[in-house]
Structure 1
Amino acid sequence: MTISPIILTLIILLLALVSFVCEFFPVDTTAIAITILLILCKLVTPEQGLSGFSNSATITVTAMFILSAGITRTGGLQIVRDLLFRLGGKSLKKQIAALGIIVGFISAFINNTAVVAVFLPIIEGWGKKRKISLSKLLIPLSYAAILGGVITIIGTSTNILASGLSEKLGYGEFSIFLITPIGIPVFFIGLFYLTFIAPKLLPDRKSVNNNGLDVDYDMKDYVSEIIITPRSSLIGQTLRQSGIQRKFDVDVLEIIHNDIHFPQPLADKILSLGDILLVRGSKEDLLQVRDERGVDILADVKFDKDEIEKELSFGEDKVAEVLILSNSRLISSTLKDLRFRQRYNATVIAIRRGEELLRERLGKVRLKFGDLLLVQGPRESFIGLQTTRELLVLEEREVETLRQNKAYIAISIVFGVVIVAALNILPILVSSLVGVMLMIFTGCLKPGEIYGAVRWDIIFLLAGLIPLGIAMETSGTNKLIAEYIVSLGSYLPNYLILVIFYFFTSLLTEVLSNNAAVLLMLPVAAEVAKNLGLNPISFMLVVMFAASNSYMTPIGYQTNTMVYGPGGYRFLDFTRVGLPLTLIFTFIVPLLIIFVYGL
């Protein structure tokens, strides 16, 4: 029996949705698997299956990631730091407004994930300086970046993808400033909400005091000192030979010999009688070490909340939080597999994953995007961590790691790309590629840095899902779904149909991803508009705005995930703050689109 192409496409679509929601595999892996399945089922040709990699939207998004890296690598965004501090003042409302205006404007032209990555350490330091809880600032930071991303087409990869889909459907690409008449009112409505309403809904959770480690990571019971006694089998052995870090779930953070503190690396340090080892480990593991290796556990009462950080950060050592970024090769690996201590000359003491705090069996934990690592090691190790494109140290980057003399060149290149495309001198695809080459030729980026600048998970997601859109179009699935929606909505006002599209796309974005939502919903919206004899551009823009404005969960949008751990948020904090904003836009955005573009 032959299964009809529509039924087969719907089955594959359902499999994709289940995999995205349940996170059986990373989203990019699922997308590529779906493409292979579509080819095997002959729903698309091999050429159509690979067309996502040559699609103009995919290439443009790749180029925009590189241009954003040029800005951040030269410290272009740090230029506005002093302006933020000056405008912020002492009032929380004023601070959120200043933060929103600055971050929103930048996010209109620079990838908003890169903007949040740069501003996270700045806001962390600002919060501590002003004695403001970070949970009052980081959701506004994320939301402002999202709001800024819908001011122009190049603000997010979702907008660029929507533009590419519009061209493929025969309606032409969106110009850079096509959505600006809608994006600016949406931005200021959102900013008003963040400034005057959100502060009442935001939690006051994460400590801003210097003794925050004990509060945030509860390290009192996990950082202790052990002393090597005359009966200890560790005497005369190196730390590596002793095997205590391999056999027991403990990490030696420091060795103190005759009041001299020896930092990492410690593996080849010979242990002597009377040496004191500063270790991370549970009481159960420490008791095992005591019984089997003949050491004594020093009274841990000395570690009150004021002294833990001092002990961990003694001399040339320091302790800081490090965020795993979305393009990190560390994702899905364990600290043991990565040989993290040897690779970065630093030790992970604890891992915060959203509301969950992990302090045991850290070597076996598979790392995820958004994980916050509490890391201890020599100060020079953190300079190395600051230069990696896979981890973000939540403190302001050392000046010497940035090419600050190239900052204005990088900014000029990006604005040149925008102006050339806006004046229709060159298509955005061409102007962005020219901008990439200029970033390299002017020294803003080194050739080898462009590969690390690209969010390959997003690129493979786009390239993998574009063939699914082709299959839905060629099999008639889009037309069938559109006819069903038209039959259901034939008695509804056209405005309410747009409202339904906005809300449903918003929900889909929260459980899938913004790019997946726009790939699935935009062609259907265009088909519905065609069947109703309405303006397809208005319907497509409603879907695009809904997919790009994700506020209700920490997993619906990359910037929300990035601030989840550093802000000390709980999952429902995003729902409490984001749901009212989503409902406001559900009714306002369709009205604005009808007013500007008509039906």
Structure 2
Amino acid sequence: MSIPPIVLTLIILFSALISFIFEFFPADTTAIGITVILIVCGLVTPEEGTSGFSNSATITVMAMFILSGGITRTGGLQVVRDILFQIGGKNLNKQIALMGIMVGSISAFINNTAVVAVFLPIVEAFGKKQKISLSKLLIPLSYTAILGGVITTIGTSTNILASGLSKQLGYGEFGIFLITPIGIPVFIIGLIYLTFFSSRILPDCKSINNDGFNVDYGMKDYVSEIIITPRSNLVGQSLRQSKIQRKFDIDVLEIIHNNIHFPQPLADRVLSLGDILLVRGSKEDLLQIRDEKGVDILANIKFDKRQFKDEINYREDKIAEVLILSNSRLIGSTLKDLRFRQRYNATVIAIRRGEELLRTRLGKVRLKFGDLLLVQGPKESFIGLQTTRELLVLEERDIETLRQNKAYIAIVIIFGVVTIAALEILPILVSSLVGVMLMIFTGCLKPGEIYGTVRWDIIFLLAGLIPLGIAMEKSGTNYWIAQHIISMGNYIPGYLVLVLFYFVTALFTEILSNNTSVLLMLPVAVEVAEGFGFNPVSFMLVVMFAASNSFITPIGYQTNTMVYVPGGYRFLDFTRVGLPLTFMFTFLVPFLVKCIYGI
């Protein structure tokens, strides 16, 4: 007996939701798996199953990532740094308001994840200068970036996806400024709340970086110098041949030979009598090396950040903190499995995981999202770390790595893309692709760099979930769900139906993800609106706003995850600030939609 298409689709849907919630696989892997199952079960054709990769929303999102990368790579966002430093002042409310205005305005046109990545080190430096705890600034940074993203249709990938779904459902794409009459009041009200209330609600945490690496990572007891003595059996061996880094839980950070500092890579450097090795390791391991290898342990290094930084600059070496992002493929692997030192030509000295500090057996620690790695290596190694999508280096980019002479060209290109699309001279898909080519032709981005600017996990997530929407439509699942909602809501006013959809979508966003929520809820919202005789566009806008605004948890949205550890937050800090904001918008956004676009 064959299973009815609606039942089969619902089984696949709920299985997908369970996989997303419990993270059995990465979200993009789950999405592609769903597509394969849908094709095998005959719920979609092979052409429909792969249509997500050619969908205009998917391609537009990819193009916007590249354009954002062009702005970041040229330092186009760095120009606001001086404004923040010059007029930020010492009043915390004024600082949050100014930061919010700048971040929100930029996030309306540039991917907000890229904006937060650039502003993190800027705000960190500003907080240190003004002696303000980062916990007072970083959640407002993330939330204002999220709020800025719903000022225009191109502010987030979620908005672009919703616009593409609207076209697919027969209601046409959204204009760039269609949501602006709602987005601006929402942004202003959200900014006022954050300006006057977040500083009172947020804890005054000791920032991870405020007092130097010695205090924050306890490196005084874990960074030492050992000297090769005449009795040592290491003389004449390379570091690789000696196998001391494999046998003992230590990392050699540099070798000093005749007062010359040799940084990574060190594996093939031959050890000589009198060489001094700067190592990270516990006292127990150092004593064991002393006994077995005939070395002497010198006095502990006082791991003073300023002194160490000067020394690093002198020898073209550096130390920085690196954040494991929620989409990183490094999650679940160990440093040893990844061959981290060989892969990135840098050494992990310590790992901070929330309030837990890991300094021993680092090679066997399985990485988790939000882990903060203290990494040491040559400056050129950090250029590679800055361009990977797996990690986020929590520091300002070196001036020499930015094409600052191209910054204004990149800004003009973005402005042109937005203007042409807003005037409907060309569709946003076409204007954004033209912008990508101009970024390459003008030298703002090199051809090989465009792949590193794209969040491929989001691209595959969109491409994999779009066929699920097709299957739900073809099988009648959307209609079935909508009819049940309609039958339960015959006596509910239209405004409260909008409130219901905002609430459910916002809940899905916190549990799943913003893009998954809009893909699942928007077609159902359209079916319900048509069944009630309401305006489907109003329902789509409510779902889009709810999916884009994630404030309750640090894992519901990428920017929240990015500030989680650097701000020294606890999980519930996001809930305390974000729950009132979500509750307020649950009623405000449907009200604004009703007033402006009707029900």
TM-score w.r.t. length of structure 1: 0.93
> Does structure 1 residue 546 correspond to structure 2 residue 541?
no
> Does structure 1 residue 513 correspond to structure 2 residue 510?
no
Structure 1 counterpart of 2:79: 79
Change (3 A) 1:17 1:81: same
Structure 2 counterpart of 1:108: 108
Change (3 A) 1:353 1:312: farther
Work out the CA distance in 1 between the residues paired with 2:346 and 2:596. Answer: 55
Q: Which deviates the most, 481-490 or 548-557? A: 481-490
Question: 1:418 deviation in Å?
Answer: 1.0
> Does structure 1 residue 12 correspond to structure 2 residue 29?
no
Change (3 A) 1:241 1:215: same
Amino acid at match of 2:428: I
Q: Render the CA deviation track for 1:8-45: whole Å, top value 9, x for unaligned.
A: 11111111111111111111111000100111111111
Structure 2 counterpart of 1:466: 466
Amino acid at match of 2:206: K
Structure 1 counterpart of 2:451: 451
- Residue correspondence of structure 1 range 365-384 to structure 2 within 5 A: 365-383=365-383
Q: Name the SS of the counterpart of 1:491 in structure 2.
A: coil
Structure 1 counterpart of 2:128: 128
Amino acid at match of 2:135: S
Please tell me whether the aligned partners of residues 387 and 452 of structure 2 are also in contact (alpha carbons under 8 angstroms): no
Structure 2 counterpart of 1:25: 25
Q: Which deviates the most, 359-368 or 162-171? A: 359-368
Work out the CA distance in 2 between the residues paired with 1:288 and 1:532. Answer: 77
Question: 1:226 deviation in Å?
Answer: 3.6
Please tell me whether the aligned partners of residues 143 and 551 of structure 1 are also in contact (alpha carbons under 8 angstroms): yes
Work out the CA distance in 1 between the residues paired with 2:386 and 2:8. Answer: 48
Work out the CA distance in 2 between the residues paired with 1:21 and 1:357. Answer: 28
Work out the CA distance in 2 between the residues paired with 1:102 and 1:437. Answer: 27
Question: 1:321 deviation in Å?
Answer: 1.1
Change (3 A) 1:509 1:246: same
Q: Which deviates the most, 120-129 or 470-479? A: 120-129
Question: 1:506 deviation in Å?
Answer: 1.1
Structure 2 counterpart of 1:139: 139
Q: Name the SS of the counterpart of 2:447 in structure 1.
A: coil
Work out the CA distance in 2 between the residues paired with 1:474 and 1:355. Answer: 49
Please tell me whether the aligned partners of residues 213 and 309 of structure 1 are also in contact (alpha carbons under 8 angstroms): no
Structure 2 counterpart of 1:536: 536
Structure 1 counterpart of 2:280: 280
Please tell me whether the aligned partners of residues 208 and 566 of structure 2 are also in contact (alpha carbons under 8 angstroms): no
Question: 1:395 deviation in Å?
Answer: 2.1
Q: Render the CA deviation track for 1:108-150: whole Å, top value 9, x for unaligned.
A: 0011111111111211222222222222211111111100000
> Does structure 1 residue 193 correspond to structure 2 residue 164?
no
Question: 1:187 deviation in Å?
Answer: 0.2
Change (3 A) 1:505 1:216: farther
Unaligned runs of 5+ in 1: none
Please tell me whether the aligned partners of residues 104 and 149 of structure 2 are also in contact (alpha carbons under 8 angstroms): yes
Q: Name the SS of the counterpart of 1:373 in structure 2.
A: strand
Work out the CA distance in 2 between the residues paired with 1:292 and 1:116. Answer: 49
Q: Which deviates the most, 580-589 or 227-236? A: 227-236
Change (3 A) 1:135 1:523: same
Question: 1:343 deviation in Å?
Answer: 3.7
Question: 1:555 deviation in Å?
Answer: 1.0
- Residue correspondence of structure 1 range 60-459 to structure 2 within 5 A: 60-207=60-207, 211-229=211-229, 231-257=231-257, 261-273=261-273, 275-298=275-298, 300=300, 303=302, 309=308, 313=312, 315-316=314-315, 317-325=317-325, 330=330, 333-383=333-383, 385-386=385-386, 391-459=391-459
Structure 2 counterpart of 1:577: 577
Please tell me whether the aligned partners of residues 555 and 561 of structure 2 are also in contact (alpha carbons under 8 angstroms): yes
Change (3 A) 1:285 1:54: same
Q: Which deviates the most, 257-266 or 6-15? A: 257-266
Work out the CA distance in 2 between the residues paired with 1:146 and 1:366. Answer: 30
Please tell me whether the aligned partners of residues 207 and 566 of structure 2 are also in contact (alpha carbons under 8 angstroms): no
Q: Which deviates the most, 10-19 or 247-256? A: 247-256
Work out the CA distance in 2 between the residues paired with 1:338 and 1:270. Answer: 25
Percent identity, aligned pairs only, is 79
Change (3 A) 1:306 1:453: closer
Q: Render the CA deviation track for 1:413-457: whole Å, top value 9, x for unaligned.
A: 111111111111111111111111121222222222222211110
Work out the CA distance in 1 between the residues paired with 2:374 and 2:19. Answer: 31
Structure 1 counterpart of 2:34: 34
Please tell me whether the aligned partners of residues 74 and 407 of structure 2 are also in contact (alpha carbons under 8 angstroms): yes
Question: 1:79 deviation in Å?
Answer: 1.6
Question: 1:270 deviation in Å?
Answer: 3.2
Please tell me whether the aligned partners of residues 255 and 262 of structure 2 are also in contact (alpha carbons under 8 angstroms): yes
- Residue correspondence of structure 1 range 587-598 to structure 2 within 5 A: 587-598=587-598
Work out the CA distance in 2 between the residues paired with 1:278 and 1:441. Answer: 46
TM-score w.r.t. length of structure 2: 0.93
Q: Name the SS of the counterpart of 1:186 in structure 2.
A: helix
Q: Which deviates the most, 316-325 or 37-46? A: 316-325
Change (3 A) 1:36 1:554: same
Structure 1 counterpart of 2:526: 526
Question: 1:473 deviation in Å?
Answer: 1.2
Amino acid at match of 1:596: I
Q: Name the SS of the counterpart of 1:145 in structure 2.
A: helix
Amino acid at match of 1:222: Y
Q: Render the CA deviation track for 1:476-510: whole Å, top value 9, x for unaligned.
A: 11112112222333333322222221122111111
Amino acid at match of 1:37: I
Amino acid at match of 1:126: F
Work out the CA distance in 2 between the residues paired with 1:515 and 1:321. Answer: 29
Work out the CA distance in 1 between the residues paired with 2:322 and 2:305. Answer: 21
Work out the CA distance in 1 between the residues paired with 2:239 and 2:355. Answer: 34
Q: Render the CA deviation track for 1:385-409: whole Å, top value 9, x for unaligned.
A: 4455654332221222111222111
Please tell me whether the aligned partners of residues 62 and 459 of structure 2 are also in contact (alpha carbons under 8 angstroms): yes
Question: 1:182 deviation in Å?
Answer: 0.4
Q: Name the SS of the counterpart of 1:206 in structure 2.
A: coil
Q: Name the SS of the counterpart of 1:277 in structure 2.
A: strand
Q: What RMSD in Å do the two structures reach over aligned CA positions?
A: 2.4
Unaligned runs of 5+ in 2: none
Work out the CA distance in 2 between the residues paired with 1:379 and 1:32. Answer: 38
Q: Name the SS of the counterpart of 1:538 in structure 2.
A: helix
Amino acid at match of 1:177: F
Q: Render the CA deviation track for 1:261-283: whole Å, top value 9, x for unaligned.
A: 44323223333455443222234
Q: Name the SS of the counterpart of 2:534 in structure 1.
A: coil
> Does structure 1 residue 555 correspond to structure 2 residue 546?
no
Work out the CA distance in 2 between the residues paired with 1:116 and 1:221. Answer: 34
Question: 1:354 deviation in Å?
Answer: 4.2
Q: Which deviates the most, 287-296 or 396-405? A: 287-296
Work out the CA distance in 2 between the residues paired with 1:108 and 1:358. Answer: 39
Q: Name the SS of the counterpart of 1:269 in structure 2.
A: coil
Q: Name the SS of the counterpart of 1:351 in structure 2.
A: strand
Amino acid at match of 1:133: S
Change (3 A) 1:154 1:81: same
Please tell me whether the aligned partners of residues 108 and 148 of structure 1 are also in contact (alpha carbons under 8 angstroms): yes
Please tell me whether the aligned partners of residues 465 and 516 of structure 1 are also in contact (alpha carbons under 8 angstroms): yes
Amino acid at match of 2:461: L
Please tell me whether the aligned partners of residues 207 and 567 of structure 2 are also in contact (alpha carbons under 8 angstroms): no
Please tell me whether the aligned partners of residues 90 and 130 of structure 2 are also in contact (alpha carbons under 8 angstroms): yes
Work out the CA distance in 2 between the residues paired with 1:306 and 1:462. Answer: 43
Q: Which deviates the most, 335-344 or 583-592? A: 335-344
